[in-house]
A and B are shown apart, each in its own frame.
Chain A
Amino acid sequence: MPEKKEYKVIGTRPIRHDGVDKVTGRALYGADFHTAGLLHGTVLRSPHAHARILSIDTSRAEAYPGVKAVVTAKDLPAAQDKIADLGEGAVNLKYLCDNILASDKALYKGHAIAAVAATNAHIAEEACALIDVAYEVLPPVLEVRQAMKPDAPLIHENLKTGSMGETADKPSNIASHLQHKKGDIEKGFAEADVIIEREFVTGTVHQGYIEPHNATALYNPDGQLTVWCSTQGAFTVREQLAEILQYPISKIKVVPMEIGGGFGGKINVYVEPVAALLAKKSGRPVKVLMNRADVFEATGPTPASFISVKMGATKDGKLTAAQTRLDFEAGAYPGSPVGAGAMCIFAPYNIENVLIDGYDVVVNKPKTAPYRAPGATNAAFGSETVIDELAEKLNIDALEFRIMNGAKEGVKRADGPVFPRIGFIESVEAAKQHPHYTSPNGKKHHGRGVASGFWFNIGLASSVTINVNPDGTINLVEGSTDIGGTRASIAMQAAEVLGIPAEAVNPSVVDTNSVGYTAVTGGSRTTFATGYAAYEAAQDVKQQMIARAAKLWEVDEKDVQFADGEFSCINGKEEQISFRDLSARLGETGGPVVGRAAVNPPGAGGAFATHIVDLEVDEETGKVEILRYTATQDAGKAIHPSYVEGQIQGGVVQGIGWALNEEYIYNAEGTMTNASFLDYRMPTCLDLPMIDTVIVEVPNPGHPYGVRGVGEVPIVPPPAAIANAIYDAIGIRMTELPMSPDRMLKAMGKI
């Protein structure tokens, strides 16, 4: 194990800085924003999953008392079929605009068609009902394999498959095909003594954040557009607004309000541009709130998928070949996370021969959005189930099989990157030694399963400014939305550098006019990258403070040392001053100290997790009850262990929901029939036991404190771990998600 470093602040569990605001109801989320003259906007949505829009007549709505503005796609600048770079990757601008307000076709039930701003939300809703839309209803395409058929109805008449640099001649619903190759797949299977090949189906699931999307926009007569919203990234909202509205980025200020969950689903804009159009037309501030059905029907779920996995191993347990085909539903516009799924699927293992094919396929469902390790959970459901079956056939303990074949430093992934120091083996060993795994598990219909997961994590740009206060505290200004305690985890890294308590840092998440560019809170990057920026900004403060001490003592800067919050002179002079006391003397030594840093760190460092689950299958009802759950994970270095545990527990429970209950249920017309929290059944606390966590710390060489992103990977193993435990309980391999009571009863031959 690497050497353990001693820290004063890192690894402790201070109260989060925004905690009091959030337990007293004072924290202001997007929907809580209020300003004088506020209008309320409501969006009219398509009742059809696939329809051509023949005409839209808004005259009756415009005449309705209390209505101040009505907008349709005609109010958007004409979108070119061009590629816009939005910092998070290239996006076709026409698709982006059409998803905000449909121009020619409605591509899913719930697709925005028009919007009304009125003096209250009830009037706006009534006026929406007065908008006359003529549709030509078209047959919907609702499932990936159906959409890939040559005779499937076309969703986009001009979409042609892009495949490794080539574009097909004929239009198709297959937007793109990707491939990763390593070694010789035929040779690998020839070397195998045991080969398992299985097919898997996963349903469409939603991120399920409790706060619906919201935005309030205000246009000033000088052209300044201000948008208050709940988003994972104020800067990406600014970029998307600039592209969609074709408006100068410098005239847009995005104010990030507190955010009520995102999980990847609050990166794309939906109501923000609509609020801006209504504000411009009405000359008043306009707030647009989604309702829960809108959130399900019109914001990014994560895709349903069809996955085939074939893996082979020698009789002494060495994996020799792995092949997969991943067919992912992109939703109405191209851009599923199939690429990320392809990067992750076999990443935990050192396999010489790998072939991965991925297909991004449009269907008449809402455009998918990232959801916590996007693509990786779908993929791991397939690969980790096949790994379990191989271990069983080879009569090798499932965790031992993972250790025997586990990836470590120097192993090259099929998609190219070579792993730096990683902690996969350590996470599996922690699981293997855990009392949960070594405890007996033999009751009838009880089963135990394990599975592992990988997520690569990202770096990207972050900026931090630190202002030193005269009482030895610091004000830390950042641009990262705090979804789960990152004010604390970022502040703690600055505090560690400066030798001050976490409580001596006042972190503020500010608007796009007030801090340097900062990418989204996503990709498990915030504690890593914005924390890195805080570290660097604190180093900048430290250097400036050293200069002040040197000035005070009339010595060279190189003769001033800083340790444990104290500056001292090392050239023989008996001088010492604390960070706090020196902070009080900034005025006399040259004025304020402001530290700054802008970083784009490359070494995000991948995260690995291994989970153990015990469950019971009720043979009468088909219900699966989770009895015990343990998750181990390499966190690199846990800055605030409570919030690392929280990320693990939250990810596990989302994974349990995905595994057992959650799915979009569509009728033949393409209407989601369960667009409410009653019928889209997310786990409640009554469905669950406590979730045990084991934080493994293999420091990430790409971060000064060894941090790895922790937020996403814990959602990856649960569906496979639960499927493997169900097999252990009843001897049936489940290959379709969710493993809901009806599917369980069918698999057991009871219905």
Chain B
Amino acid sequence: MKLLIKNGRVIDPSSRTDESLDLLLDKGRIVDIKTKIKTDGAKVIDASRLVIAPGFIDMHVHLRDPGQEDKETIATGSLAAAKGGFTSIACMPNTHPVNDNRGVTEYILSEANKKAVVNIFPVASITKGQKGKELTDMADLIDAGAIAFSDDGHPVENSDTMRRALEYAKILNTLIIDHCEDKNLSGQGVMNEGYYSYLYGLRGIPGSSEEIMVARDVILAEKAEARIHIAHLSVKGAVDIVKEAKKKRIKVTAEVTPHHLFLNDSCIETYNTNLKMNPPLRSKEDTQALIKGIQEGVVDVLATDHAPHTPDEKDVEFDQAPFGINGLETAVSLFLDRLVDKKIISLKRFIEMISTSPALILELENKGKICIGADADLTLLDLHKEIIIDVDTFKSKSRNNPFQGWKLKGMPVITIVGGKIAYSSSSIKSK
């Protein structure tokens, strides 16, 4: 069935569009864009007062499926994504078993095909079992549907192995995503190293652990002429390294998460395990550097690092709790309130960072833009609606979110994937 979206404010950074337009969607594509579209037999959404953006893309999600379905499944994770305004998500390979072979990639895509309401793009591991030793069969994985490669939380320690991975990525024209961490420096750390780790008596993870790996990666990427994407930048020093690398035209891109922007290490005062993630919440100075990095264009992408865990796993002493927090259903409101409404960045720049840029980086040709022929993936935003975050309303299986109770202005209200409504908030009526 055709879908006609009327009277919305269409913002598409790729075509520098920002005006009130009607959009007609049919067979999964955008088929018409005009000031006034008249058509028969289409379902109509009145988007007056709403912003229509190209569908949001989260490059960094953990779906836990296969293997840890008590935390999340492809079905629940995709519902959470749709509710959070995301039309596409890339899922990390640290499942059980690890997504290091065609079988797992195919399983994820087959589950997604059957159960997911958003597009799922599997990220395969760089090395077998994420063990940092043998490279995976990258060409075969790409053929099966892998969109990029990452060893995620077990970053490739051996620089020679990383070099070879980048060389292969180059000839296969694929992307390496790295969680940059020198595990020797981070040791048994559970939070950012600094005044607050000393105050709270918790073991620290120094910022240098990230900086060193970011520096190594850009050096290796330059030599290999390959593309590297730095996951969840968290420290000032790493922002500086990416900035310098970009000046030298090294093919590096970088993402940042809401929690690294809006929380800092002083928050851990009450040992709330929903403030434990890796990389850890850094200092206030670091968050300021990340904001500046966003404004200057050093940071390309906003991502969530959605990392669901069960309540029991998090209801333990801080040292014992697993790293990671839930993020899909809170990210967009956080960005709209803290970045856009506070005028840190423009609405257009925000949409660019959460849709246009991830589509370009992941080379999703028909996504991240609004034009005739593009995929009918759209995120509709209400910039004025105020919400109070309540984890009990989450579609995700998990509740490990530190923003509980935050009052925010702006939220995604309708998510359209492939021309169909994947999620619609109860306040929106369509005919």
A-B interaction: no
